[in-house]
Amino acid sequence: ALERDWQDRVLRELGHLQTDRKVEVHDHLQAFWVPDANLAGPVAGLALAYLLDPTRPVFALSAETARTKVSARGTPFLTDRGLDLAVAVREAARSVGGRGWAPGRQRGLRPQGTRRGVPSGS
């Protein structure tokens, strides 16, 4: 029952992404906001696999607390060409006064108040 509930929530978020939410597309990345931080990674991965441009990494942003969670996903096409999302998220977080780390997964945080939009120049 819990697994089915989680699957339903992920599918609902993907549906919202298709119909209600704006995906910000930049020259070298794409990003969107997800209300539930626990769903950011799975939604980002599935969206990249089935809905979004697979030639650009995707960043799912979520701000449930004073911090913004960043879940980043890329395809084998991108990582084979040198994409390192752990480094990218860490450096992007540092550039806005946050911190990022990747203990087994790509993660990044930035301070509250920097939520709107995606940093330009990407």
DSSP string, 10-23: HHHHHHHHHHTPPP
Going from the N-terminus, what domains does the chain have, and what CATH number goes with each? 2-111 (3.10.310.40)
Task: Give the residue from 120, 69, 114 showing the smallest Cα distance to 96.
Answer: 114
Distance (Å, whole) CA 47 – CA 60: 10
Distances (CA, A) of 98 to 13, 44, 59, 107: 26, 21, 16, 11
99 and 106 in contact (C-beta within 8 Å)?
no
Task: Indicate yes or no: pTM above 0.75.
Answer: yes
- pLDDT tens digits, one per residue of 44-75: 999 999 999 999 999 999 987 788 889 999 99
